[in-house]
Amino acid sequence: MDSLRIGIAGVGTVGACVAVKLLAEAVQGATIKRLAVRDINKDRGFSVPEAQWTQNTLELADADDVDVVVELIGGADGIALDLVRTALVNKKHVVTANKALLAKHGVELAELAENNNCILSYEAAVAGGIPVIKALSEGLAANNIYRINGILNPTCNFILTEMETKGAGYEETLHIAQELGYAEADPTFDVEGIDAAQKLSL
């Protein structure tokens, strides 16, 4: 493959950063051909020369001018799942940071990728830019792993550390975490262990 033609689905905070980074780095042979968004008229503060913007997300999976689909929509089901399935069936490589999708449908999607001779890349789904998945699956492939130690969820780590070191109560510490931007307005995903469980399942 002389060139890498990319379609990005979901151009929110992360998707916009990916697009801007690809444009800034000017990776030789890599071009963004299509971007799928909810609101095609929204000003995102950057432009992608010669790329097509669409509200039809599945268009990326069917497009002849896309080799790699970058899924940054989120969610375990719905359009994110449809997009990844369709892309793999159509023999397109997929990159995703969607741990919810992979935790629920990872085995099926990995089999689809293998059966269609495609790559399903999901390093960014766990620990952001730290190559945890690659280290475990490739670098330590011959080892038996019995335990993984680490901070699996920074929101919980902050809350528990504050409670232990300062003797603060849970509600107070959660409020501080929200004010600092560590916790979402609805912290359920973090504080009930869903985020950590999904990371471990990958």
Q: How far apart are CA 32 and CA 5, in angstroms?
A: 6
Q: How far apart are CA 74 and CA 103, in angstroms?
A: 12
**Cα atoms found within 13 Å of the Cα of residue 42, Cβ hemisphere only:** 13
Tokens coding 174: 């959660």
3-class SS of residue 136: helix
Quick check: is 134 catalytic? no
Catalytic residue selected from 33, 92, 99, 199: 199
Query: How is the chain split among helix, strand and coil, in percent rounded to 5?
Result: 45, 15, 40
What DSSP designation does 135 have? Answer: I
Catalytic residue positions, numbered: 199
